[in-house]
Amino acid sequence: MAGRGEKRRTRRDEVLERWAGDTGVALEQLDDGQRWVVYAGVRAAESVASVRPMKRVLSFFLSRSEMDLSNKVVGAVIGVSDRAVQTTRHLEPKELVDVVAQSKHAHRQAKLAPHHAGPIARFLVEHPHCKVSALLAFIKDELEIEVTRHTLGRYLKRYGLGCLREIEVDDGPFFGDTPATGARSC
């Protein structure tokens, strides 16, 4: 009996060493119980790799396993970002089922849609020197949508609204005078 357990442990260690080499996760940060859970997750992720909604479900179970696995470790197991794991971790079970059932690609529907570009553009034209916080407040109050600075920055870039603003930056690089990469959108 002990021989079978030792074979499983040896196989687990081989798989985890290979996985750690590929992902850069330090195995020494995991205790024995966490290693077994991560091993099961790695094996399950290999089985469902081509089915994105199943990866999200697996992420949900691993992140809520009460094994104190960090978002980074769960993300490395699943092959997604820490942020994606954090988003999934905070879903209620019913929300997870709804998201998986609705989504063809296991991504949530964007909060800011293309039809919001008009009101946002009008606000930027009417308030060319507004701060990011003022634009976020407008979106929250008028459009009844709460978004982060990061989401707003991506939205402005995607719809070419960067040329309509002369926003004063409170902090962070997202709305500075010089874009981090590439040319201005206009």
Name the most confidently modeled range: 93-97, 109-113, 169-173. Answer: 93-97
pLDDT digits (tens, 9 = 90+) for 61-82: 999 999 999 999 999 999 888 8
The whole-angstrom separation of Cα 71 and Cα 100 is 20
Q: Which domain holds residue 163?
A: 110-186
**Among 102, 120, 151, residue at a domain's last position:** 102
User: Is 50 in the same domain as 132?
Assistant: no
pLDDT digits (tens, 9 = 90+) for 112-169: 889 999 999 999 989 888 888 999 999 999 999 988 888 898 888 888 887 776 544 4
Q: Tokens 């260690």 correspond to what residue?
A: 13
User: Is 97 in the same domain as 120?
Assistant: no
**Among 68, 102, 136, residue at a domain's last position:** 102
pTM of the model: 0.55
User: Is 57 in the same domain as 148?
Assistant: no
Rounded-to-10 torsion of CA 54, 146, 116, 95? 30
User: Is 87 in the same domain as 139?
Assistant: no
